[in-house]
Every structure is written in structure tokens, then in C-alpha cells.
Amino acid sequence: MLIPHPLLGPRDAQEFTYLGDARLLARPDGMAEGAEAAFYDYVYLRNNPAGVHRELWFHEHGDRSWLVVTRDTLTHDILGAELATDVVRRERPR
């Protein structure tokens, strides 16, 4: 597979380490009320879609940036890739 790194262009997937569902960006507040239930959902439950999946890849053997890659789990087609930091800054409720 080739991952379209937003800064470095297409890179072989072997340079990356895969983590999983990009929902892992949305870590609950550990000090909030009901944190244990929220963390159960965060740590363990997955939508696991057969189709478009937003997921985290770490450019471990490259520039060490975490990317959010949008990929189809049925075809492996990659629809896009962004720096995870950009995604967090854009999507996190403030």
C-alpha cells in the first residue's frame, strides 16, 4: 500500500505503524463524571465498518507524524490523509 503523506507525498505503508480507528483521537476527560463508561466505549468499542474508515497511522520510519488516513476497508482505496494534529485542532469542540 502507498500512503499519501500530506507533507511527504506517497510513502510505502511499511514506513508506518498502524494504530486503528481515528476515534482514538477523542479521548474522554478522565476527571469527568461517568468517565469509566466513556473510557470503556473509547478503549474497547469499535464501529469496525466494512467501507470507509478513518484510521491512525504513525510514520515511525519517517517523519514521526501521526496521520489520519481515510481508507476503504473493502477495497483498500485511500481517499485522503491528514496530519492528526490538524484534525484534532479542527474537530475538537472548544
| Contact residues: another protein, CB under 8 A | 1-2, 12-14, 17-21, 24-25, 27-31, 35-37, 39-40, 42-50, 53, 55-56, 58, 60, 64-66, 71, 73-78, 83-85, 88-89
Q: Residue 36 CB, nearest distance to another protein (Å)?
A: 6
* DSSP H or E segment with residue 3: strand 2-5
- Smallest gap from Cβ 68 to another protein, in A, equals 9
Closer of 6 and 65 to another protein (Cβ): 65
Cell numbers that stand for 21 in this block = 480507528
- Could you give the angle at the alpha carbon of 10 between the alpha carbons of 67 and 46, nearest 5°? 35
Which three cell numbers mark 87?
A: 484534525
Q: How near is the Cβ of 24 to another protein at its closest, in Å?
A: 7
Dmax (CA) for the chain in angstroms is 43
